[in-house]
Homo-oligomer: A and B are copies of this chain.
Amino acid sequence: MQSKSSMVIFQPSGRRGRVPLGTSIVETSRLLGVDIEAPCGEKQVCGKCKIRIEQGNFKKFGITSEPGHAGPWQSAEEKHISPEEKEQGYRLGCVATVQGDLLIYVPEASRAGKQVVSKAARPINITIDPAVKQYYVELEPPTLQDPTGNFERLCAALEHQHHLESLSIDITVLRGLQATLEAGEWKVSVAVWLDREIIHVQPGSGTGIFGLAIDVGTTTVAAYLCDLVSGEVVDTLSMMNPQVKYGEDVVSRISFHMENPDGLKRMSTDLVDGLNNLVMQASKRDYTHSATSGNSPSAEDETFRIQPADILDVSIAGNTAMHHILLQLDPEPLGVIPFTPDVHHSLDITARELGLKINPAARVFMLPIEAGFVGGDNVGVILAEEPHRQDRIQLIIDIGTNGELVLGNKNRLVCSSCATGPALEGAQIEFGMRAAPGAIERLTIDPETKAVDYKVIGRDVWQSFSKPEKMQTKGICGSGILDAVAQLFLAGVVEKSGAFAKQQDSDRFRICPETGIKEFVLAWAQETSIGKDIVVTQQDIRHIQLAKASIYTGCKLMMRRLGVDRVDSVKVAGAFGSHIDCKLALVIGMFPDCAIDKIVSVGNAAGDGCRIALLNRDKRREADWVARHVEYMELTLEENFQWQLMEAIQFPHMTDTFEHLSGVVPEHILNQ
């Protein structure tokens, strides 16, 4: 059997598995829990199931994917796939079949389950003072007596009417100036960057001006489309980071660059293409002004669209590797001692320099980076949470594929990063998946009966109240796997060491006959859409243990550096942080001990900080200040790091008192 099957990996979800040769790609996607759109029922007529075969030797995954591995091209595909797309490896998922190992990219349009946007923007307080502002001016048309040039005429009006002096102008704006002035009959709206440079001119009072705050995560990318006048978040856009196909964590991305001469450019271009795609999607949507805009709501709200040319400013935050790869700066030195980046300072570049298809004169503000892998995303977290302005000791944990930690107060701040890996985002987990409909997100296990109850994204009713076939469970997302591991521990199924207990009295526990690995069934096959039992394996538990241990160790080493033995509050940031049960995270020993009510989830604080930088120019200066004043700790070089990490693998860590868990964790478990 093994020789008659091939490995198939779907991107961007990362779902993978072996399927029999000859299986259609659409069928394969169902088997692996990916779900490609196929409204016509694989009749080869709707063309919705377009996918792309990635070509190359993907060492990271141990496979070589070739277009030929998807079977011969069929004439039925010609109707839906252009010659250019064919060239790029596009196929119809209902026509192409598995004939060898395949790495398959599923474009956003072909994905059946839209990711639940877990990086939604929080309402935060921002003083709206953006880098790009719009000014309305009325000019005198030129005459023979005063034939002064258009630019000088515009500058004179801006100086006279708005006290803006010594302005320059982007050459792309100058090119259209004459036509715009005529179209507006010498009345125009002028967007000016930092009171320095004219970057957009529109006839009359103009349409709105907008900005994008982009949080580039290793695995997911969130972009907040903001009104630069009101500061309102008009839309939240998100996607998987298209670089995931080159490697799941920062280290494997850097390796990809080192092994491929054009690797850096490919990864950068893929991300920029993805961002351009998000902008294009947004440009097709109808938006309404929110009720907060002050207009009395009417029965028929006026809708508006946002053209790419209306986007005039961008702020981008990412860890150091994401920052360097996007800018095509060599990320190799980031991975070797002494971990020197090319630049710490914030950077201002133009959108066209970066290849962003928005207004070509739009500016891009790259948030500064701190040190090591701790980048602009962490600067964003600090801008949003402001530990540097407070007396109390705050611990902020930003959980992503790369975990970033900040500890301290206004006197001193330290930061560090820990390689949590993508397990907490559902990757590397046997049945892991992103937070999309069908993913187990909450889960309990009865300590007595070991009965499992759970809830999936997209369905309010818990499993115990549902008919099995109604659940359509597909996999486990990050918060679900954390719940599962904690509950297995609390139910005594898993010991303090993370190993399954020797004594097991549930039929959910078993040893996989093929792999010999112990596993515990969370959902029986009849409850699922993939037709097989969804389990947590011993390996899944190990991944979670490693992730939580690295966070815990980081926190402890930072506390040691600051000389504090407890923190006043813990803030959990990141998409994952918004969804986890903080109590259960404490149970498995992810955070140092803290009063339960002082542990709060702060959502995508990095994205919030990025938005702050977009909307307030002073905060850009503060960002540079923060980046240079926070003290970086390279954890792996700390004394006793390895020993501390090993110690932290167990749950819960024995040196902690866990006073806050009494009543939550049974005594016999704590006293194991």
Inter-chain contacts of A174 with B (CB < 8 A): 327, 329, 342-343, 347
Contact with B along A370-388 (1 / 0, CB 8 A): 0100000000000000000
Out of B144, B151, B340, name the residue touching A147 (CB < 8 Å): B340
The segment from A10-18, A83-91, A330-338, A610-618 that touches chain B is: A330-338
Out of B146, B171, B345, name the residue touching A353 (CB < 8 Å): B171
Interface status of A357 (Cβ within 8 A of chain B): no
Inter-chain contacts of A142 with B (CB < 8 A): 338, 340
The segment from A175-183, A280-288, A645-653 that touches chain B is: A175-183
* A345 with B175: CB separation less than 8 A: no
* A149 with B327: CB separation less than 8 A: no
- Given A330-B178, A337-B144, A151 and B371 contact (CB-CB distance below 8 Å): no
**Nearest residue, chain B, Cβ from A331:** B178
* B337 with A149: CB separation less than 8 A: no
- Given A338-B142, A343-B169, A329 and B175 contact (CB-CB distance below 8 Å): yes
Out of B179, B345, B637, name the residue touching A144 (CB < 8 Å): B637
- Given A178-B333, A333-B178, A150 and B342 contact (CB-CB distance below 8 Å): yes
**Nearest residue, chain B, Cβ from A349:** B171
Give the distance in Å from the alpha carbon of A47 to the alpha carbon of B333 in the complex. Answer: 51
Instruction: Report which residue of A147, A177, A328, A337 has the largest number of chain B beta carbons within 10 angstroms of its beta carbon.
Output: A147
- Given A147-B340, A178-B342, A171 and B347 contact (CB-CB distance below 8 Å): yes
- A162-209 contacts to B, CB under 8 A, are 168-169, 171, 174-175, 177-179
* B338 with A147: CB separation less than 8 A: yes
Interface status of A422 (Cβ within 8 A of chain B): no
* B344 with A151: CB separation less than 8 A: yes
- Given A329-B174, A330-B179, A151 and B338 contact (CB-CB distance below 8 Å): no
Inter-chain contacts of A337 with B (CB < 8 A): 144
- A626-670 contacts to B, CB under 8 A, are 634, 637
Give the distance in Å from the alpha carbon of A371 to the alpha carbon of B142 in the complex. Answer: 13
Inter-chain contacts of A148 with B (CB < 8 A): 340, 344
Interface status of A341 (Cβ within 8 A of chain B): yes
Instruction: Report which residue of A144, A342, A345, A353 has the largest number of chain B beta carbons within 10 angstroms of its beta carbon.
Output: A342
Interface status of A143 (Cβ within 8 A of chain B): yes
Interface status of A152 (Cβ within 8 A of chain B): yes
**Nearest residue, chain B, Cβ from A320:** B149
Interface status of A524 (Cβ within 8 A of chain B): no
Inter-chain contacts of A152 with B (CB < 8 A): 343-345
Inter-chain contacts of A61 with B (CB < 8 A): none
Give the distance in Å from the alpha carbon of A142 to the alpha carbon of B148 in the complex. Answer: 53
| Distance (whole angstroms) from the CB of A159 to the closest CB of chain B | 14
Inter-chain contacts of A169 with B (CB < 8 A): 343
Give the distance in Å from the alpha carbon of A179 to the alpha carbon of B333 in the complex. Answer: 10
Interface status of A339 (Cβ within 8 A of chain B): yes
| Distance (whole angstroms) from the CB of A127 to the closest CB of chain B | 25
Inter-chain contacts of A340 with B (CB < 8 A): 142, 147-150, 178
Give the distance in Å from the alpha carbon of A131 to the alpha carbon of B174 in the complex. Answer: 24
Give the distance in Å from the alpha carbon of A150 to the alpha carbon of B338 in the complex. Answer: 12
**Nearest residue, chain B, Cβ from A341:** B149
Inter-chain contacts of A349 with B (CB < 8 A): 171
Give the distance in Å from the alpha carbon of A338 to the alpha carbon of B143 in the complex. Answer: 6
**Nearest residue, chain B, Cβ from A144:** B338
| Distance (whole angstroms) from the CB of A327 to the closest CB of chain B | 7
Inter-chain contacts of A341 with B (CB < 8 A): 149-150
Give the distance in Å from the alpha carbon of A330 to the alpha carbon of B332 in the complex. Answer: 46
Inter-chain contacts of A179 with B (CB < 8 A): 330
**Nearest residue, chain B, Cβ from A337:** B144
**Nearest residue, chain B, Cβ from A628:** B152
| Distance (whole angstroms) from the CB of A524 to the closest CB of chain B | 53
Give the distance in Å from the alpha carbon of A337 to the alpha carbon of B347 in the complex. Answer: 44
Inter-chain contacts of A178 with B (CB < 8 A): 329-330, 332-333, 340, 342
- A117-156 contacts to B, CB under 8 A, are 142-144, 146-152
Give the distance in Å from the alpha carbon of A149 to the alpha carbon of B334 in the complex. Answer: 10
- A308-337 contacts to B, CB under 8 A, are 327-330, 332-333, 337
Give the distance in Å from the alpha carbon of A246 to the alpha carbon of B445 in the complex. Answer: 82
Inter-chain contacts of A333 with B (CB < 8 A): 178
**Nearest residue, chain B, Cβ from A366:** B171
* B151 with A342: CB separation less than 8 A: yes
Inter-chain contacts of A175 with B (CB < 8 A): 327-330, 342
**Nearest residue, chain B, Cβ from A151:** B343
- A573-620 contacts to B, CB under 8 A, are none
| Distance (whole angstroms) from the CB of A215 to the closest CB of chain B | 21
Give the distance in Å from the alpha carbon of A337 to the alpha carbon of B171 in the complex. Answer: 24
| Distance (whole angstroms) from the CB of A4 to the closest CB of chain B | 47
| Distance (whole angstroms) from the CB of A505 to the closest CB of chain B | 53
Give the distance in Å from the alpha carbon of A149 to the alpha carbon of B337 in the complex. Answer: 13
Inter-chain contacts of A345 with B (CB < 8 A): 149, 151-152
Given A149-B369, A171-B327: 6 more A-B contacts, CB < 8 Å? A144-B337, A150-B340, A152-B345, A174-B347, A175-B328, A177-B342
Of the A-B pairs whose beta carbons lie under 8 Å apart in the complex, a sample of 8, sorted by A's number, is: A147-B340, A149-B342, A151-B342, A171-B353, A175-B328, A175-B342, A178-B342, A179-B330
By Cβ-Cβ distance, the 5 closest A-B pairs, closest first, are A151-B343, A147-B338, A142-B340, A149-B341, A149-B344
